[in-house]
A and B are shown apart, each in its own frame.
Chain A
Amino acid sequence: MSSLFIFTLITHILLGLVGVIATFLVLLNLLKKNLDIKKLRNMSLLSALGYFLSWFSGGYYYWFYYGANVKPVIKEGDYAWAHLVIMEAKEHIFLLLPIMSLVTVAFMYMSKTRLVTDSNFKSAVTYFVAVSFTLAVLITLSGIIISGGAQ
């Protein structure tokens, strides 16, 4: 693998982790009684940035390297399901995450009043971010399984 693809793969992983951790911090802060809106805004922005950049770097790696070099190896091996189920599901479910993160940013920047005054709305947003975080964790775990399948 060339240095460019090593770089894009590592970037994809690290930025994805940034997104996941930032989403977790948004969730943690939403669970507090007194909301720190500035922190929520910063973490939601960081999360969105992480997911979008992870998407682009991972997409580049996937398009120009994984498809021709890694996928055939996995499919021919003992763990074909690592690509045929896990990778296929991961790459499509991931498409939801950047948009969920954008919506979360919008909540933090445009619904500050309602988040603070409407507990029903705050609870709904917390649920939405929890779903986003859960999907992000499952996607991260999927990446680990796929790496194992390639080994």
Chain B
Amino acid sequence: MIEEDILAKLISDKSGVSRSEAQTQLNELGVNIKSVVDAGEVFEMEGFGTFKKERNATVFEPDEVLQTEINQKYAGMRPIELIGSFKETAAAQPVEQVETPVPVEVEEVVKEPLVEISANGTEPPAEQAEPVVSIEDKKKVLQESSPPPPVQEKRGEKEAGESETGRASVVLIIAAIVAAILLAGWLLYSTGVFLNGKTARSVPVRNTQGVVVDNNVSNKPDGVANEDVSKATNAVYGLRGAVQPEAKDGFTIIVHSLWRKKHAFETLDAIKAKGYRALIQEANVGDQMYWRIGIGQFKTIKDAKKAIKSLPEPYKSNNFIKQQ
């Protein structure tokens, strides 16, 4: 609380009047106000306000200028009309509502003599999140007598002619188009147009010995088909099929070295989906943990090198052979 000495000091600092003088004048002011008011008269301070007695109690009416200054933050704000149903979405213009999302202090609420909605208990912040639309100012109620406020943009709430049902059918059409594109894409994928000659089967056909029988005979630029079959007959080792535990003493072709585990496993699945035998390894290089994805299992380095020739790019040019 600012009073006495501190108040005198502040006044002295501001006016250049000495502190003692300010103190004297403060006392004098208090006495003056009291005597005037007690006599039933009004004590007016220009630009500040008036003191008077109302039913035996001293009241202070702040001057308009003072009120506006105090309410600087919100001065010029006008009540905003809320719409009951929120059909119009994008037209919302939360005009100059600075504070709304956060109900700050817990001071008393000064009640005005108007009907209020039960919203008194509920915090209105949610209101601003929802579409709030203002209308042209036909409002006469709640006109503060403050000086002409800064231009407050009020837009009509009508969307440019778009009715509800019209919009719904547009959305439907778009959804149908998207669905058609996705369907077409899936069909193409399954007929192998996008792939490098291999079918999009995630589980390659095999016989009991784990030999991969590749049925797809579409054109293969690297002449892979034959090599596939020859690799496949080498049951334990190979480029395709499932990872064989017996082959773990061999070598693999590392085609990826990744940092993120999740990404690594996703890539692993992608490679398996292409029909390759793929495995994943952890490796520590310096401080960094890498997840390495290897293709195929081979008895010798020589076999691995041979297999590399049959790999598509980018694997063909970007790999190294590692012991499993």
Q: Are A and B co-members of a single complex?
A: no
Partner-A contacts on B (CB < 8 A): none
